[in-house]
Structure 1
Amino acid sequence: MADCIRSMPVVLLPGMLCDARLWRHQVAALSGTATVQAGSVAGAITVNALAQTLLSLCPQRFALGGFSMGGIVALEMLRIAPERIAGLALVDTNCWADTAERAAMREAQVELVRGGGLCGLVREQLMPNYLADVNAENPGLQQEIESMAMSAGALTFVQQALALGTRADSLELLQKFKGPSLVLCGAEDKLCPPEGHREMAAALEDSSLHIIDGAGHFAPLERPAIVNSAMLDWVRQVQQKESEQ
């Protein structure tokens, strides 16, 4: 039984314009405790379609973590197949439906990117909101984030922007989830502020809340050791609960 629980997969979803590199520190840290795989939130223009595709590729039961847009897709997966999700980690994300303000902003960004402006968008509009003040001039972090964005490309950005507009409000969904949950964000996250994470953690029955100093929106890359520790604790809690059932 212990070997079965140990092998229960952990699926981690990256955010908009990100790939598996977003989770590289966490994958390495968790690999001795569980089998870990990184999914993709690219290739469809609705959150539901992304969730359905991922569920078709995932094991029958697994622990699920999502960063930013990945958290939004993770919540849709939970909505569709709650019986398959053993634990939930929400990292630098939110659970609310789209707002008119953000929809208008993304519409303008889509037009810019369709005109060949993806690099300019990342450098001039997105990057200033991504990192904590202490990391704002870190060229290595900036290069890694920009490299993921350029690898994703303009078509992926457009698809993801359209998909984000289709998300549903999920606060009541969180209130129904009973599994071990991790809610984590950077203390300086401008895109998904700590206040929202506190509300999500309060809605969950069995949650652990971590607000990470010295991190902005990209906590898994900005403060990997702290995020690793929190995620290891979460995975062990999931494994323990599964072993008791």
Structure 2
Amino acid sequence: MIDNGIGRALVLLHAFPVDAGMWDAVRAPLAEHVRVVTPDQRGLGRTPLADGAEHPPPDLDAVAGDVLRLLDDLGLERAVLGGCSMGGYVAMAVLRRAPERVAGLVLASTRASADGEEQRATRLAAAARAEADGTAGWLADAMLPNLLGVTSRDERPEVVATVRSLVERQPASGVAWAQRAMAARPDSSDLLRATRVPALVLAGAEDRLMPPEVARGLADLLPNSELAVLPRSGHLAPVETPDAFSASVLDWLARTFD
């Protein structure tokens, strides 16, 4: 976990299958204005999968519990929760479990709906392969075309290398657990319709996994939301277009909370 800056707390929850390193390019500009907390989620990065001898069954509610304990440890009664992709699912799980702890939402490249049968089966197959074979030699190759927009793949070799490194350093056990946890997540549409906290929904214009129309649908669910579509970005805008991502978040925070 990295904790930078002072002032209003913004907790950023990373995507799958990477870790908090995905926030490296936006952490400093954001921390000039707010307190930025970027944890590795359970089983990924430097955070172990198991609390002790055993790990819990795959469930994003367990990750939500980790986030709430982190807030307690940091003395934060409330925070703005930001999540990219899987991190957005975790932010929704926190909102479901403890809405009084959530001051606002920044939801990037994510959706409210649960997986359909085909997507669920794909996740479970990937989890089984990660456990059986590890992740070297296939996971990054399989994920990169969906994680990065065409501009990044064609024009930003340093971004491609960064994301490949982030994917390849994740433990196979954590990858498998996270896939199963995401496959089991509930639909969050009614939850978002009922919340009144301010929300910023961000989409990459070139995102193949969560295209802008998905983000528009997500923003429509939230009664107090704004939508920003970031040009020349795919699924991982904080890595691909960090300046645009940071500017959008800081502008929204300033207009919403200051």
| Alignment partner, residue 77 of structure 1 | 94
Letter in 1 for 2:169: S
Match of 1:239 in 2: 257
* Letter matched to residue 199 of structure 2: S
Is the Cα–Cα contact under 8 Å of residues 179 and 238 in structure 1 kept in the other structure?
no
Shift of the alpha carbon at 1:238?
4.2
What is the CA distance between 1:61 and its match in structure 2?
0.6
| Residue 161 in structure 1 maps to residue 179 in structure 2 | yes
1:55 pairs, out of 40, 61, 68, with 68
Q: TM-score, normalised by structure 1?
A: 0.90
Aligned to 2:125: 108
Provide the residue aligned with 1:92 in structure 2.
109
Distance 2:242 2:35 in 1: 19
Q: Does 1:46 align with 2:59?
A: yes
CA displacement at 1:140 relative to structure 2: 1.4
Name the one with the larger helix percent.
1
Structure 2 residue 119 is the aligned partner of structure 1 residue 119: no
The one-letter amino acid of 1:149's match is V
- Identity of counterpart residues, as a percentage? 34
TM-score of the two chains, using structure 2 as the length reference = 0.86
Which whole-Å CA distance do the structure 2 matches of 1:67 and 1:78 have between them? 15
Asked whether 1:171 is paired with 2:184, we answer no
Deviations 1:19-71 (A, max 9, x none): 12211222211112111101232235211111012111112111110001000
CA distance in 2, matches of 1:18, 1:9: 22
Q: Which residue of 2 aligns with 1:243?
A: none
User: Which portions of structure 1, spanning 4 or more consecutive aligned residues, are displaced by more than 4 angstroms?
Assistant: none
Q: Which moved more, 1:198-207 or 1:122-131?
A: 122-131
**One of 78, 82, 98 as aligned partner of 1:65:** 82
Unmatched tracts of structure 1, length 5 or more: 1-5, 241-245
d(CA) in 2 for partners of 1:152, 1:109: 14
How many angstroms apart in 1 are the aligned matches of 2:256 and 2:98? 17
**SS of structure 1 residue aligned to 2:229:** strand
Deviations 1:2-22 (A, max 9, x none): xxxx72211000011211221
Looking at structure 1, the residues matched to 137 and 211 of structure 2 have their Cα atoms a distance apart, in angstroms, of 25
Corresponding position of 1:128: 145
Between 1:76-85 and 1:228-237, the stretch displaced more is 228-237
Q: Is 2:199–2:224's contact at 8 Å kept on the other side of the alignment?
A: yes
| Structure 2 counterpart of 1:20, one-letter code | A
Q: 2-side partners of 1:233 and 1:119: how far apart?
A: 40
* Aligned-pair CA distance for 1:229: 0.6
- Corresponding residue for 1:35? 35
Is 2:234 the counterpart of 1:216? yes
- Aligned partners of 2:194 and 2:39: how far apart in 1? 25
Q: Deviations over 1:93-116 (max 9, x none)?
A: 111112111111112212322233
Contact kept, 8 Å, 2:127 with 2:177, in 1: the verdict is no
The answer for the alignment partner of 1:16 in structure 2 is 16
Name the aligned partner's letter for residue 55 of structure 1. Answer: L
2: CA distance, partners of 1:115 / 1:74 = 30
Runs of at least 5 residues in structure 2 that lack an aligned partner in the other structure: 1-5, 43-48, 50-55
Q: How far apart are residue 224 of structure 1 and its match? A: 0.9
Query: How many Å separate the matches in 1 of 2:124 and 2:184?
Result: 13
**Residue matched to 1:181:** 199
Residue aligned with 1:152, SS: coil
- Aligned positions, number: 235
CA RMSD of aligned residues (A): 1.6
What secondary structure, in the 3-state scheme, does the structure 1 residue paired with 2:228 have?
A: strand
